[in-house]
Structure 1
Amino acid sequence: MKFITITLALFTSTILFSQEIDTDYTKNKKKAIKFEFFSPLTGNSTFGYESYIKDWLSWEAKLGIIGWGVGAANDIHQSGIFIKGGPKFKLNPDFVTDDLKGAHLLSGKYIRPEIVFSQYTEDVGDFFGNSFETERESFTSFAFLITYGRQYILANIMTLDYHFGIGYGYVSGREGRYSYSHSNGGSDFPIAFSTGFTIGFLLK
């Protein structure tokens, strides 16, 4: 999945370098709705919203519906939600002209500190004697991540964004597990990380 994300990002950057740069920021759309493109393959569907605040700063929030997915990831009948969000600090514009203007207010590399909360249930199996049995368990997970990413704007219509984050996390119940919003280590190594690729549409 990481290979696919990087490949798509490189392909997108090649296209963008061939586009004409428009530095009239009054034409920029400053809000976007998004979707984590590969999230259904991991047992959830994740939606996002971003809004521009001022130069070099916007904020972004995401909502994940755990259980809205496809394939083998749904064999454990997971159900729940997660939320995550935080400020998005832009590092530099995608393009720079002689007067130091970027291509779009929402494009470029960024750092996003974010708080994550997940609450879900799923079937957990284990061996009891010679038989394999499952039981329904509930999990709660928290994390604080520092996320690095890059966002591309296509013709002031669409967004493409790849990102990865690392930080500290906690999950109740069994240690070291995937919490849909991120992955957690155990109590002796409480590292959390996430990665993703989003596609979205700009709004006025």
Structure 2
Amino acid sequence: MRIITTISIFVVAFAANAQTIDANSTNKKKAIKMEFFSPLTGNTTIGYESYIKDWLSWEGKVGIIGLGTDNSDTNPSGVLLKAGPKFKLNPDFVTNDLRGSHLLGGKYIRPEIAFAYYNEDVVSFDGNSETKSRQDYTSVAFLITYGRQYILANIMTLDYHIGLGYGYDSSEEGKYNFGYSNGNNSFPVAISVGFTIGVLLK
């Protein structure tokens, strides 16, 4: 009787573990995303995330500067790049039959490099005359980003994040670089805030 009970317990435990493995294996491991509010800030930014292994994925973003509203009337044009590994923090919950949340879901830390190159109109005044010219800008930042990603029905992603780090841009005065803001040369702090929505892929 004890042998049968032991075998039964082993079978039930194995089945529960197998269900957990199957549940995780059905998770979609890639996603295409969009910075939802980026068009309102003068650019359209698209991202791609791919699962690498437990607790780790990779994410990159490409932004088209100028593809969005032009609030400052400077006609910006250029490109924005962001990339970095995404380290998932402890899952929200762990039970005997469920190993935490979705492979791409949960809280995370993402060290990332951001780069922007663009040009825009600059107005200068000489006495009573006004002169408009195009000015090129180059910007780079290293950010440590904290965020949380939600997975909806293994179909959609919702993600909010905030990053803080160091940055530099050629204006030397500090400005918004269509994906993050830099301080001036005497205070070279960079900051970014974002909200993405995406679609999961197999």
Shorter-chain TM-score range: 0.7 to 0.9
Equivalent residue letter for 1:78: P
Q: Which residue of 2 aligns with 1:68?
A: 67
The CA RMSD measured in Å over matched residues stands at: 1.5
**Structure index of larger Rg:** 2
Equivalent residue letter for 1:158: M
Q: Deviations over 1:136-176 (max 9, x none)?
A: 10000011000000000000000000001010000002411
Q: Does the 8 Å contact 2:172/2:185 carry over to 1?
A: no
Deviation at residue 53 of structure 1 after TM alignment:
0.4
Equivalent residue letter for 1:107: G
Q: Which residue of 2 aligns with 1:9?
A: none
Q: Distance in 1 between matches of 2:126 and 2:92?
A: 57
Q: Deviations over 1:115-148 (max 9, x none)?
A: 1111000011233223443211000001100000
Q: Distance in 2 between matches of 1:105 and 1:45?
A: 27
Q: Distance in 2 between matches of 1:128 and 1:30?
A: 57
Structure 1: 5+ residue stretches without partners: 1-21
User: Alignment partner for residue 138 of structure 1, among 128, 136, 139?
Assistant: 136
Equivalent residue letter for 1:66: I
Q: Does the 8 Å contact 2:156/2:198 carry over to 1?
A: yes
Instruction: Give the TM-score normalised by the residue count of structure 1.
Output: 0.85
Q: Which residue of 1 aligns with 2:6?
A: none
- Counterpart of 1:25 in 2: which secondary structure? helix
- Counterpart of 1:72 in 2: which secondary structure? coil
- Counterpart of 1:40 in 2: which secondary structure? helix
Q: Which residue of 1 aligns with 2:29?
A: 30
Q: Distance in 1 between matches of 2:143 and 2:87?
A: 14
Q: Distance in 1 between matches of 2:107 and 2:101?
A: 12
- Counterpart of 1:76 in 2: which secondary structure? coil
Q: Which residue of 1 aligns with 2:58?
A: 59
Q: Deviations over 1:67-126 (max 9, x none)?
A: 0002525x2110000111100000122333245611210000000000111100001123
Q: How does 1:1-204 map to 2 (within 5 A)?
A: 23=20, 24-73=23-72, 75-98=73-96, 101-204=99-202
